Structure 1
Amino acid sequence: MKNLDPCNTDGRFIEPVSQGRYGLDPDALYIIQQDSFATSNSLQTIQLTMITLRSLGLPDGTCYEDIFKAAQHAGLRLCPAEVGLQLRLQYMDQPYGETLVIGMQPLHDCYQLPSVFTVHHWDWGIGLGACCCGESNVEDEWHADSDWVFMI
């Protein structure tokens, strides 16, 4: 991943949406407008990896807490939340049908439910979304073949 630029994660991130380059789902917009969402004050270079839950040894229906534990056991780390925004800005040639779930500490969406960012490309184009992690650990049902992004 290229250097993280804190200037791209402030209000100017929304500007390209109006230019039709990508979509910003309402839940993702809500999250980035909250005080709990923070960006780095300096440029950083980080290494990311994409991994399926199945490759972490996890079955269908695994809760996000178990996903994070398995990732940590595999030597992976949670991403800063701003990685979702930067990945969306930098991954403009994302294949159709792909959704990447950002392995990050969940932030609350407009319903006060813990959510993580998604970077996706579907019929409505490429976009940044937010996926609810459930009201409780019992409600999480992540598919084993879902693609997650973590830091190395």
Structure 2
Amino acid sequence: MSEHQTHTNPEGQFVKRTVEVGGITKRELINKLHASSIRLNKYGEKLLLDDKFLVSKNKYHLKTVELTVHSLGFQQGANTSDLFRKAKELGLSLCPVELGPFLRLVYTDQHEHESNVKNQAPAGAVTIASEPLYQHDDFPKGFYLRRIDEELWLRGYTADDLHVWNPEDVFIFCFKGETETGQ
């Protein structure tokens, strides 16, 4: 289940969504991704299969917002810790890492963009702002969503603390205190 609304502010558009998360096992979640033809890169698989990646037994709903680095106030880009700090100042919070697969299952109308860049977020990618499962740089920090050749992808990414995100890079954050438990 997901509902979304698009809004415009002086820096551009942002999207609010309510996404249902949890209520199934990790195996059921992985099976749903496969049944929906969701593609995974090796980092996405590594995140999903790690013992620290947990799926809530209870359903709940998260209210999220999708916005650019620029709309957070960084016209020249920013590193991850600066982005996350600014989001917190604005009343946003990091998303649980489990949001990525659930959002990918319902966000099926993502636009496709050509992109062959290295060491940067690809054009059209939507990164889920979440606390990494591990602090070392060689383990994926989180998920991002992308459409490539008409296929939906749930991809993991790596980035160190020095990585600077571009102003047009898109992140999803949660609204603080906007979690609703489901039945």
TM-score after normalising by structure 1: 0.85
Report what 2:169 is aligned to: 146
* 1:14-93 alignment, distance < 5 Å: 14-16=30-32, 18-19=34-35, 21-93=37-109
Match 1:118 to one of 140, 144, 147: 144
Report what 1:5 is aligned to: 22
Give me the whole-angstrom Cα distance separating, in 1, the residues matched to 2:82 and 2:148.
28
Corresponding letter in the other structure for 1:28:
G
3-state DSSP class of the match of 1:70? helix
Larger Rg over CA atoms: 2
Deviations 1:48-103 (A, max 9, x none): 10011101111444111111001101111100001101000111222222311001
3-state DSSP class of the match of 2:146? strand
Structure 1 position 17, deviation (Å): 5.3
Deviations 1:89-124 (A, max 9, x none): 111222222311001002349973351210111226
Q: Is the 2:33–2:101 Cα contact (8 Å) retained in structure 1?
A: no
3-state DSSP class of the match of 2:165? coil
Q: Is the 2:47–2:140 Cα contact (8 Å) retained in structure 1?
A: no
Give me the whole-angstrom Cα distance separating, in 1, the residues matched to 2:80 and 2:103.
21
Structure 1 position 37, deviation (Å): 1.2
Corresponding letter in the other structure for 1:45:
H
Q: Is the 1:27–1:109 Cα contact (8 Å) retained in structure 2?
A: no
Give me the whole-angstrom Cα distance separating, in 1, the residues matched to 2:152 and 2:53.
22
Q: Is the 2:137–2:159 Cα contact (8 Å) retained in structure 1?
A: no
Structure 1 position 12, deviation (Å): 2.8
Root-mean-square deviation over aligned CA pairs: 2.3
Corresponding letter in the other structure for 1:128:
L
Match 2:157 to one of 125, 131, 143: 131
Which runs of 5 or more structure 2 residues have no equivalent in the other structure?
1-17, 114-123, 176-183
- C-alpha change, 1:104 and 1:18, in structure 2 (3 Å) is closer
Q: Is the 2:112–2:150 Cα contact (8 Å) retained in structure 1?
A: no
TM-score after normalising by structure 2: 0.72
Which runs of 5 or more structure 1 residues have no equivalent in the other structure?
none
3-state DSSP class of the match of 1:150? strand
Corresponding letter in the other structure for 2:141:
S
